[in-house]
Chains A and B, each alone.
Chain A
Amino acid sequence: MRSGGLSRRARREAARRAAALILLAVMLFPVYWMVISALKTDKTLFTNPPYFYPPSPQWSFFWGTVEAYAHPLLNSAIISLSATIFALLICVPGAYALAKMNLPDALVNVMLVVILAVQVFPTIMLVPPLYQMATQAQALNHYWTLAILDSMYSVPFGLLVLRTFMLGIPDSLREAAMVDGATEARIFFRIIIPNAKPGIATVMIFAFLFAWGDFVFGLTFTNNSGIQPITVSLYDVLGQNTQSWELLMALGTLLAIPAVLAVLGAQRALRQGVAGFGVER
């Protein structure tokens, strides 16, 4: 009787795990399909019924794509890294000021409401005026322009996440350092930054992913391939009359790498990012 009950529970748990695995397979199927399509040839790509695996994986084509698109890939990397650094330069000190520097309550509240509001703003709404600004400043087709624009995806988020994070650093640390005669700058670099590292890592990862995934700024603010990010290259291929699906899927796979790496290696940061938009602002 007892062992029957146990095995029933075990069976239920096994069924639950099987269901969870099936669900995962269904949810990740588009990603799988993209990767195997990149490894198929014209002969195995356009078949009915389709192959659910690549019969003879075409790795050479994939590496050829990496080579052929090395330049836009590098552009994306440069732009995303610069955007990340730029976002951190704005967010870390800004969040510290909002969290710990005893600013007047009214000022902090106004800032928080503004940050929340701009976070809700659709980026696309700001693209035309930003385009006019960039045209007038003759800043089109510049790495720096794209880096600054791409940072817009993460700065409001980063300010809020880091502020919440810094609120959690005990005031006693700061006060103790002050009593010891440390300057504000010293406290910031020696106490706040080391203690806020996990929060900074979270913002860093999201800032990079957001900038890496940017499409609209790249599309609008570049009109030569010299500094074009890889997202726009993919879009250009998509717009060609005869679409090469193995190429499109190979480019998609390359673009997906940072997201996959983040899931594999930065779980804590991702969870904190998810939590970051917490209610307690």
Chain B
Amino acid sequence: MMAKNRKIPGALRALITFRTLCLAPAVLYLLLLFGYPTVFNIKLGFEQEDAAQFILHSPTFNGLANYQQLIHDSVFLHALGNTAIFGVVTVSLQFVIGFGIATLLNKTSPFYTVIRSALLVPWLLPLIVTGNVWIWMLDGFYGVLNYVLVNLHVTSHYVAWLSSPHLALGAVIVANTWLGIPFNVMIISAGLRSIPDSLYEAAAIDGAGSFRRMTAITLPLLKDVTGTLVLLGAVYSLKLFDIVWVMTQGGPANATQVLGTLEYQDTFTANEYGYGAAIANVMLVLSCAFAVLYVYLSRRRKVKSQVRRPGNARSWLKEGTEVDAHA
């Protein structure tokens, strides 16, 4: 007992220093690479800075002028709308298709496990590769997609998808949907596995058909999974940059302009650093709102799962249900 007591202060001191050594790099990292740039942007949003001022590090304060300009900037409003369209359409398509695929593959035999794994490839590809191959498939003269669509009589002739202001957004959304489907399949599969078979058996005994089982059991119990996917989809559409930049650079005529591409363009092409920062700050507010929602939902879910269905929820949590749509 005495020996133990004498030991503790020494161990405690060692703990404090080693603890600091472990935590400090992470804290410094977050402050320097995430914290400082964020604060920097907030300040720069109230300033005007062009290329010359950028070189001299001498922005001039201009109050809310950037934001006043933003509300009247039709390109910005258009980009905001496009971001929303991207988010809503991508999330819905990915969920519906992902749900279909996950249901089809919802078996434990190795055959289906291998297929589920192989499906992950599109999700792990660098976005620039995805953009690159879709440009080629959508090509107006030799694109294989045009060949397929004409032969299926969906279109009557070859279409230059990406150079049409009316079609480019849809074309980029298709590519963007494709790359996110595997992720949705994985998450929904985990959700499906967490639903106990006994529920379906009981429903079958009660004479419920497969459609009824889906609407009364599967979909309601996938509510949390759906919420997660919708939220991550929203976050992802705010992050949208690479694939749009590679495929269309926001064009033609701003048809595919989203917040990310507009911010980059205003900053690095137009050299309007302050204005670019103002757009970044709009993105910051939106992503913080999603983050708050995300924290709230995961906390609530944690409490709920602890209270209501401990055994089942544990295994479900371990399986995991979320992944970041990368980049």
Contact = CB atoms under 8 A, between A and B. Distances in A.
Interface of A: 16-17, 19-21, 23-24, 27-28, 30-31, 33-34, 37, 45-50, 89-91, 93-94, 96-98, 101, 103, 111, 113-133, 136, 148-149, 152-153, 155-157, 159, 178, 181, 183-185, 188, 206, 209-210, 212-216, 220, 231, 234-235, 238, 245, 248-249, 251-252, 255-256, 259-260, 262-263, 267, 270, 272-281
A27 B126 contact: no
A122 B318 contact: no
A31 to B, nearest CB: 6
A252 B129 contact: yes
A116 B295 contact: yes
A133 B26 contact: no
B124 A255 contact: no
Contact of B54 (A31, A121, A132): A132
A279 B301 CA distance: 8
Nearest to A275: B320
A273 B127 CA distance: 18
A31 B178 CA distance: 11
Nearest to B39: A129
A275 B301 contact: no
Interface stretch (B72-80, B88-96, B112-120, B202-210): B112-120
A181 B135 CA distance: 62
Pick the most buried of B29, B134, B147, B284: most chain A CB atoms within 10 A of its CB: B29
B160 interface: no
Closest 6 CB pairs of A and B: A275-B320, A94-B26, A213-B126, A129-B37, A259-B124, A93-B22
Interface string B29-60: 11001101110110010000000001001000
Given A101-B22, A238-B132, A122 B324 contact: no
B184 to A, nearest CB: 11
A85 to B, nearest CB: 13
A260 B181 CA distance: 17
B86 interface: no
B290 interface: yes
Nearest to A279: B298
B16 to A, nearest CB: 9
Interface residues of B, number: 101
B263 A124 contact: yes
Contacts of B115: 20-21, 23-24
A128 B23 contact: no
A150 to B, nearest CB: 11
Interface string B279-304: 01001100110110011001001100
Q: Is the interface of B mostly helix, strand, loop or mixed?
A: helix
A189 to B, nearest CB: 11
A278 B317 contact: yes
A12 to B, nearest CB: 12
A122 to B, nearest CB: 4
Nearest to A93: B22
A277 B320 contact: yes
Nearest to A248: B132
Contacts of A96: 22
A27 B122 contact: yes
Contact of A122 (B44, B287, B323): B287
A93 B24 CA distance: 9
Nearest to B55: A135
Contacts of A235: 128, 246
Contacts of A267: 117
B19 A103 contact: yes
Interface stretch (B63-71, B163-171, B211-219, B233-241): B233-241
B53 to A, nearest CB: 11
B99 interface: no
25 contacts: A23-B104, A28-B118, A30-B134, A34-B129, A47-B142, A48-B147, A50-B147, A121-B34, A122-B260, A125-B260, A126-B33, A127-B264, A128-B280, A129-B38, A133-B40, A152-B33, A184-B19, A206-B326, A238-B132, A245-B136, A248-B136, A255-B125, A270-B120, A274-B323, A279-B322
B144 A153 contact: no
Nearest to A101: B19
A98 B291 CA distance: 20
B238 A122 contact: yes
A206 B29 CA distance: 19
Contact of A256 (B7, B129, B241, B319): B129
Contact of B323 (A24, A114, A238, A276): A276
B122 A28 contact: yes
B190 interface: yes
B302 A280 contact: yes
Contacts of A90: 25-26, 29
B291 A275 contact: no
Pick the most buried of B23, B111, B128, B134: most chain A CB atoms within 10 A of its CB: B128
